[in-house]
Amino acid sequence: MSTATTPCCIRTPRNRAPNSLSLVIPCYNEEDVLPELRRRLQELVAQYSFPVEVVLVDDGSKDKTWPLICQYSQEDTFIKAVRLARNFGHQTAITCGLDQTRGEVVVILDADLQDPPELIPEMINEWKDGYDVVYGQRRKRSGESAAKKFFAFAFYRIFEKIAGLQVPRDTGDFRLMDRRAVDALQSLRERHRFVRGMVSWIGYHQKAIQYDRPERFAGVTKYPFRKSLFLAIDAITSFTYAPLRLASYLGLATSFFAFMYIGVVIILKICGINFPGYTSIMASILLLGGLQLTVLGILGEYVGRIFEQGQQRPLYLVDQVQGEPLDSTSAERKQAQS
Ligand code: UDP
Ligand code: MG
């Protein structure tokens, strides 16, 4: 079942197969899932007459991920292996992978097979129907802790409210994008990247397809709570300054209550009622101190990001690349013949 998010009248159906397809798969310590991933990818690639490339980005793994994907890229010409100089994080690994792609249509998916490659044909059908972005929306999420599900549930709702940008709920980065959407996304070179928010921001014609998200095929999650929290902070700070506005509101509210309190104390004093003050002074010092530090912390998050952006360092560094780039001329030739 699928839900359209853009009126069909302003979309132009393509009604043809894509000239070429690229897959971007970030891998971080994924040696346990790689053999099965490769098998499933081989099955997928065999279905298509147009050229397919799979860009496996090793995000500085410490296990056998890199030797394995190097071996795969030697044996299967459709596999391109890219190794980052260190662990730059999932969102940056995706960005690196997208920079490497040449296909007319690009799909991002996780290595752990929680984003089933078997859904790609359905996504391509929506692309043929004129959509530029087709994302997988999770109907059911197996194998995730209740805490993680609750965190995701709360995050999407809060984000939508304060950022004023609708990021489809219960989605990850599993999505198909047309070349023009990829180019638009890649033109946004901000350092702290929340890819699914950025894809929503670029607009164009987007559509969800629903699926039941299976459990990770093997291995353990590479997104512990700490990383998910950092991603949420990156998402909020890169899309809205609402937390800073909240700090101003808090300051105003506190000042208002302080004035009220002073008024009440003066009136009581005139009426001859005195409050011995030690406890209340301590309480207000602690409260105000805490408030000021929190506000300073929020400000610091933004200042730190401005500092990092100002440094203009590259988003990532590549250590090695192995495998042939997708040849778009031969891709077009093959398409013309078929
Ligand atoms: N990943 C990555 N770099 C990281 C962490 C994760 O490239 O620093 C990759 C990981 O190999 C996987 C994808 O990002 O392909 C999503 O990670 P995971 O499946 O562990 O996240 P979860 O599904 O548990 O949220
Ligand atoms: Mg996963």
Number of the ligand closest to the Cα of 25: 1
Question: Which whole-number Å values give the CA distances from 331 to 7, 19, 21, 54, 82, in the listed order?
Answer: 32, 6, 9, 14, 22
Q: What's residue 188's pLDDT?
A: 92
Number of the ligand closest to the Cα of 231: 1
Residues 190 and 130 in one domain: yes
Residues 129 and 275 in one domain: no
Q: Name which of 95, 102, 93 is nearest 69 in CA terms.
A: 93
The pTM is what? Answer: 0.81
Please name the residue whose Cα sits nearest to atom 3 of ligand 1: 90
Residue 152: domain span: 21-239+316-337
**Ligand 1 centroid – CA 275 distance (Å):** 58
Q: What's residue 187's pLDDT?
A: 93
**Domain annotation covers residue 15:** no
Q: What's residue 5's pLDDT?
A: 53
**Domain annotation covers residue 185:** yes
Is the beta carbon of 28 within 6 A of some atom in ligand 1? yes
Residues 325 and 284 in one domain: no
DSSP collapsed to 3 states, 213-281: ECCCCCCCCCCCHHHHHHHHHHHHHHHCCHHHHHHHHHHHHHHHHHHHHHHHHHHHHHCCCCCCCHHHH
Is the beta carbon of 316 within 6 A of some atom in ligand 1? no
Is the beta carbon of 111 within 6 A of some atom in ligand 1? yes
Is the beta carbon of 58 within 6 A of some atom in ligand 1? no
Q: What's residue 127's pLDDT?
A: 96
Task: Return per-residue pLDDT of the chain as tens, 338 residues.
Answer: 444 454 556 888 998 999 999 999 999 999 999 999 999 999 999 999 899 999 999 999 999 999 999 999 999 999 999 999 999 999 999 999 999 999 999 999 999 999 999 999 999 999 999 999 999 998 877 767 788 778 888 888 888 888 888 888 888 899 999 999 999 999 998 889 999 999 999 999 999 999 988 888 888 888 888 888 898 899 999 998 888 888 888 888 888 888 788 888 888 888 888 777 777 787 778 778 888 888 888 889 999 989 988 888 999 999 999 887 676 544 444 444 44
**Domain annotation covers residue 287:** yes
* Cα–Cα dist 229/209, whole Å: 26
Is the beta carbon of 87 within 6 A of some atom in ligand 1? yes
Residues 127 and 258 in one domain: no
Residues 52 and 174 in one domain: yes
Residues 208 and 268 in one domain: no
**Domain annotation covers residue 8:** no
Look at the chain and report how many structural domains it folds into. 2
Number of the ligand closest to the Cα of 195: 1
**Ligand 2 centroid – CA 171 distance (Å):** 12
Choose which residue among 96, 112, 171 to substitute to test ligand 1 binding: the one with the highest number of ligand atoms within 8 A of its C-beta.
Answer: 112
Residues 195 and 210 in one domain: yes
